[in-house]
Amino acid sequence: MAVTMGADATNTMKEALFIAAGTRGAKQVGGGFQPYVPIHGRSCVEHVLEAAIAATSIDRIYLWGDRTRLEQILEPLLAQATRQGVIVTLVPEKNHFVESFLTAFLVFLHHRSGRAIEPWLLDAPLDNRHWELWRDFGQDAELAQLPVNLLVSDIPLIRPEEIDCLITGKNPAADLVLGRTLRSAIDAVITPTPEPFDYDRAVKNYYTYLSGDHAFELIVNNFLAGKPLRVPRWIWNLAGHLFNNRTIIEGGRFNLKKIKNNVVFVQSLFSKNHMDETEPDKRSKKNYYQMLKAFSFLLRSYYVIVRNKNSHRKYRDLAILEERIRTLTHCTVTLQISDCPGPALDIDTEYEIEYIDRHFDRLRTATLPRVFG
């Protein structure tokens, strides 16, 4: 059952922020799970929540994880949120990242619509009963257009102004926004530190993209946004399956059977039985072929980038990439390129923990680059 803290907000111009602090699927780094790794005397999730509370663009925060543990370590911040009129709702985590988000989003829909949700639905694993409720909410045009934002909790350097920049700077017409940060923005913050940053010991993979005649290096910055009710159910199923069985991304010679299961699952998603019956054009032979072609392109694109992540000779055209994703998903998907380094500096290795901890004050107070003016 979700627990909500804080006074009811009245500013409808502000948006909701979801923060992932679960341990199911999170990495263990430095002897602990990423959200709870101590940096500069506080856990990562404390740093992220503090920045979120101070951001001016949000009025509701939905945070999932171990609720008992979160209530203990976040007690001072929850009190601060109440004083500032920011509503914080703690939601117990589910089996994996996607299921946890979808459950938290149902709680958000309950708050925004005023419609009652049976408490047991929030505690039970996701099944058709949840999707029926999801579909009912989706019939409401206003709810279907509600934007939400998502951050992970292992980005201790993120600042309130960066959260505001990401939220206010995204494409409001997009159904799904995927955040990316320019490498030059990260270098601008890291370079002034007295200790050079060792990219070989860190997990920071930059991919080279092409937009028109301009090539630039980008990195995933752990920011997602969009309108969840506009995203087809089969995409949520695919995302949930991959998060529950991530070997198709991480590979590994001991997981060949799981990879096979993933491939079979992906193939089943492209059967006509999984197309949205309310939109017959999605089930046409031509459209089906275009979706398979787009999916094949994206797989090859990912493979090339991963195999050549240290090479600057491989490019991915942003316009083509977005067009292929749009063909596959029937959604408006955009890559949001920002100059915010904080959300991209997550912790994946012990070296990154030690480096950020040693230089926390300098990194957190460094002048933020303004590549876009």
**pLDDT (tens digit, 9 = 90+) per residue, 21-36?**
988 766 778 778 889 9
Asked if residue 156 has pLDDT above 60, the reply is yes
Which pLDDT band, with edges at 50, 70 and 90, does 132 fall under?
confident
Q: At a CB cut-off of 8 Å and minimum separation 6, what does 313 contact?
A: none
Higher-scoring residue by pLDDT: 1, 135: 135
Whether 131 and 236 have beta carbons less than 8 Å apart is answered as: no
pLDDT-based confidence at residue 250 (cuts at 50, 70, 90): very low
Position 373 confidence tier, pLDDT thresholds 50, 70, 90:
very low
Top mean pLDDT of 16-25, 145-154, 202-211 is at: 145-154
Pick 51 or 230 by higher pLDDT: 51
Main-chain phi, psi angles of 233, to 5 degrees: -60, -35
The region, left, alpha or beta by phi > 0 then psi within -120 to 50, assigned to residue 329 is alpha
- Tokens representing 200 are 């070989």
pLDDT of residue 79: 96
Average pLDDT over residues 296-320: 56
Q: How confident is the model at residue 82 (pLDDT cuts 50, 70, 90)?
A: very high
User: Where does the pLDDT of residue 325 fall: very low under 50, low under 70, confident under 90, or very high at 90 and above?
Assistant: confident
Under 8 Å between Cβ of 210 and 315: yes
Residue 328 has pLDDT above 90, yes or no: no
pLDDT at 228: 92
93-107 pLDDT tens trace = 988 888 899 999 999
State the DSSP H helix or E strand holding residue 340, giving kind and residue range, or none if neither: none
Q: Is 63 helix (H, G, I), strand (E, B) or coil?
A: strand
Angle at 344 between CA 192 and CA 58, to 5 degrees: 115
Query: What are the residue ranges of helices labelled H in the chain?
Result: 44-54, 67-73, 75-83, 97-113, 119-123, 128-138, 141-144, 160-169, 183-190, 233-244, 247-250, 256-269, 285-307, 318-329, 350-358, 360-365
Is the per-residue pLDDT at 278 higher than 50? Answer: no
Locus of tokens 């609720």: 67
% of the chain at pLDDT higher than 90: 39
pLDDT tens track for 48-80: 999 999 999 999 999 999 989 999 999 999 999
Amino acid residing at 239: A
Q: Is the pLDDT of residue 92 over 60?
A: yes
Choose the most confident range, by mean pLDDT, from 74-78, 270-274, 344-348.
Answer: 74-78
Mean pLDDT of 266-279: 49
CA 262 – CA 256 distance, rounded (Å) = 10
Q: What is the pLDDT of residue 63?
A: 97
Average pLDDT over the chain, rounded to an integer: 79
Q: What does the buried/exposed string (b/e) look like for 180-215 if buried means 16 or more CB atoms within 10 Å of the residue's CB?
A: bbbbebbebbbeeeeeebeeeeeebebbbbbeeeee
Average pLDDT over residues 189-207: 85
Residue 31 is predicted with a pLDDT of 76
Q: Quick one: pLDDT at residue 241?
A: 66
CB atoms near residue 294 (< 10 Å):
17
What's the pLDDT score for residue 252?
Answer: 42
- Rounded Cα distance, 209 and 97, in Å: 28
**Single-letter residue type at 154:** D
Q: Residue 335 burial by CB count (10 A; 0-12/13-18/19+): exposed, middle or buried?
A: middle
State the pLDDT confidence band at 148, using cuts at 50, 70 and 90: very high
CATH hierarchy code of domain 3-172+351-365: 3.90.550
* pLDDT interval class at 284 (50, 70, 90): low
pLDDT score for 8: 41
Give 271's pLDDT tier (boundaries 50, 70, 90).
Answer: low
pLDDT value of position 153: 93
Residues 194-210 have a mean pLDDT of: 82
- Whole-model pTM over 0.85: no
Question: What is the rounded distance in angstroms from the CA atom of residue 254 to the CA atom of residue 269?
Answer: 25
- Burial label for 55, CB within 10 Å (0-12, 13-18, 19+), is buried
Local structure of residue 126 (DSSP, 8 states): P
pLDDT value, residue 233? 77
Measuring CA to CA, which residue among 23, 124, 107 is closest to residue 65?
23
Higher-pLDDT residue of 162 and 133 is 162
Mapped onto helix, strand or coil, the DSSP state of residue 368 is coil
Cα 110–330–136 angle (5° rounding)?
Answer: 25
pLDDT of residue 27: 74
Q: Are 179 and 337 in contact (CB under 8 A)?
A: no
Q: What is the DSSP letter of 201?
A: T
